[in-house]
Structure 1
Amino acid sequence: MNRSMEMSAAADPMAPKKRQFRPATLVAMLVLLAFSLFTLAPFYFMLVSSFKPGAEMIRNGINVNLQPEIMSLQNYGALFTGKEGIYLHWYKNSVMITFFQTVVSIFLSAMVGYALAVYRFRGRNLIFVCVLVVMMVPIEILILPLYQLIVSIRLIDTYAGVILPFAVPPVAVFFFRQFAVGLPKDLIDAGRIDGCSEFGIYFRIMMPIMKPAFGAMTILQAMFSWNSVVWPLIALRSDENMTLPIGLASLMTPYGNNYDMLMSGAVLSVIPIIIVFFCNQKAFISGLTVGAIKE
């Protein structure tokens, strides 16, 4: 009986096959599991500490001990009631800046990268070299001229002053250019034959094909904008306009540390990035892989 079942299974190529784990695969899975636990450990510490009073963390430090008798939601309530709800202002500022900066940078960088990859024009290679050079320049070197620029055009302490200097990030231009190099050129020629304009070819034909690149770069750019500290700290002045990383950092002072708001606020600050990742996770890996095509 078993012999006949094995023969029938071998004869049927569509029959499901048993998945066999090799020793090397099992070792790799255990190593990746260990790295995952190591990566999630700080967030677990932060999550547990967010339910404890700040005085407890000062006495015993950040630990993983669950103490139901002292854990409560009081720290989260303090975020929305203390200091006239300043945390909500920080959260709103970060969401607005991250949204507009991500949309603007992705839209413009994709067009620049596509043009550098598809069109042949004089100075194209020089522009691409300039993009590579700017990628290697540390942001600390650009802070002073950028600050003078936004002061001269009166954009200090505004959303635009934070967003516009990084509206076309060179990393995103390089990424989209490398992705667009592998796009099928026959589709462009077919669109031109059908009478479609260059913008029509890009928006109707090529942009849907570049969806994996858009998904991957959306996650990376949103993380960069959400976690940015140096430039918003210089461009923004008033407490109401501060972003979330700056506001949380201001809770740590030489005169006292507000661990109650710091831990609970840090936990809630992870939510938008998690949402962005889950909305674009299908395109993330494929976008990074295809974007590595070289000319």
Structure 2
Amino acid sequence: MTKFKRFWMYVFLILAAAVSIFPFLWILVSSTNLSKDVSNGRLLPGAQLIQNFQHLTEQINLGQALWNSGRIAVITTVLALLVASLAGYGFEIYRSRAKDIVFNILLLSMMIPFASLMVPLYRMFAQFSGTLPFIGVDTVASVILPTFTTAFLIFFFRQSTKMFPRELLEAGRIDGLSELGLFFRVYLPTMKTTYAAGAIITFMSSWNNYLWPLVVLQSPEKRTIPLLISNLGSSYSPDYGMIMVAIVISTLPTALVFFLMQKHFVAGMTGSVK
């Protein structure tokens, strides 16, 4: 590649990076300004960060909201990885014509929008409220159960399992491991990059989930952070500086998870098996 082409390639990449980063920088800068400064499009940092944070803690129970979101996201991620990896492992390692038909039907479910399932799901959980209150409407379980695994995640694990070395399974069987032992002691440690990628995808999706928790969570003390941020912006005269502080705080956990597992995420998405 000539120096001239390389120069324009770097110019394009710098411009693309600037466009991608600008919204995040604007949110950070806006969290330090007054609401009127945010409305006027001020792009310089202010001195109102602490004041905006104090107003936020006065408006909502921030700690409770973060606890609700964190608890739901962690439980959902753990269950999703366990169920999806077991399903993907079983579909690929123990292949049969019947299993392939079931898997194809499972993939077809990805074409159904979740919004069309909300009414029957809500009616089902409403019926459970009378008999099984711990999984009825307005419970943590009602948020987790419909979303703790997806057809995409099962598909993702099955595709990654295609590159899993089958010789390890044969060696484990020779050593006397059971089928579950092979999964937990051979497959799971070998596919750690795939688990990391799946964990990031699931955690971020669960943390940012808005529509279903809005429908099923009715008590204010059980609301997650996206619901409370939405409520802050629905007032007659919203405080944009306070809202930006809330957005920054709600973004930190997902950003931390992504940056801590970034290398594993890239390896998992490219199909690397170690």
Q: 2:203 aligns with which of 212, 222, 230?
A: 222
Give the 5 Å matches for 1:250-261. Answer: 250-253=231-234, 255-261=236-242
Match of 1:11 in 2: none
- Return the letter of the residue paired with 2:52: N
Q: 1:286 aligns with which of 262, 267, 271?
A: 267
CA contact (8 A) 1:110 1:176 kept: yes
1:205 equivalenced with 2:204 (yes/no):
no
**Structure 1: where are the runs of 5+ without partners?**
1-19
Match of 2:100 in 1: 125
- Larger-gyration structure (1/2): 1
CA contact (8 A) 2:109 2:151 kept: yes
1:14-51 deviation line (CA, Å, top 9, x unaligned): xxxxxx98554444343232222111101111111111
1:190-223 deviation line (CA, Å, top 9, x unaligned): 1111110001111111111111111111111111
Match of 2:229 in 1: 248
Match of 1:145 in 2: 120
Q: 2:42 aligns with which of 39, 63, 86?
A: 63
Match of 1:74 in 2: 51
Match of 1:44 in 2: 25
CA contact (8 A) 2:38 2:241 kept: no
Task: Measure, in 2, the Cα distance between the counterparts of 1:284 and 1:48.
Answer: 29
Match of 1:10 in 2: none
Task: Measure, in 2, the Cα distance between the counterparts of 1:259 and 1:45.
Answer: 12
- Return the letter of the residue paired with 1:49: S
Q: How high is the TM-score relative to the length of structure 2?
A: 0.91
When structure 1 is superposed on structure 2, of 139-148 and 29-38 the one drifting more is 29-38
1:165 equivalenced with 2:146 (yes/no):
yes
- Return the letter of the residue paired with 2:90: A
* Bigger relative contact order, structure 1 or 2 (CA pairs below 8 A, ≥6 apart): 2
- Alignment partner of 2:261: what SS? helix
Match of 1:106 in 2: 81
1:49-79 deviation line (CA, Å, top 9, x unaligned): 1111223334x1x33133x4x5442111223
- Identity among equivalent positions (%) equals 33
1:34 equivalenced with 2:18 (yes/no):
no
Aligned length: 267
Moved over 3 A (4+): 20-30
Match of 1:239 in 2: 220
Alpha-carbon offset, residue 120 of structure 1:
2.8
Q: CA 1:173–1:55 in 2, change beyond 3 Å: closer, same or farther?
A: same
Task: Measure, in 1, the Cα distance between the counterparts of 2:30 and 2:6.
Answer: 36
Alpha-carbon offset, residue 245 of structure 1:
0.9
CA contact (8 A) 2:49 2:245 kept: no
Task: Measure, in 2, the Cα distance between the counterparts of 1:190 and 1:234.
Answer: 50
Match of 2:132 in 1: none
Match of 2:243 in 1: 262
Task: Measure, in 1, the Cα distance between the counterparts of 2:90 and 2:270.
Answer: 21
Task: Measure, in 2, the Cα distance between the counterparts of 1:237 and 1:283.
Answer: 37
Q: CA 1:228–1:291 in 2, change beyond 3 Å: closer, same or farther?
A: farther
CA contact (8 A) 1:176 1:291 kept: no
Alpha-carbon offset, residue 126 of structure 1:
1.4
- Return the letter of the residue paired with 2:68: N
Match of 2:133 in 1: none
Task: Measure, in 2, the Cα distance between the counterparts of 1:163 and 1:134.
Answer: 18
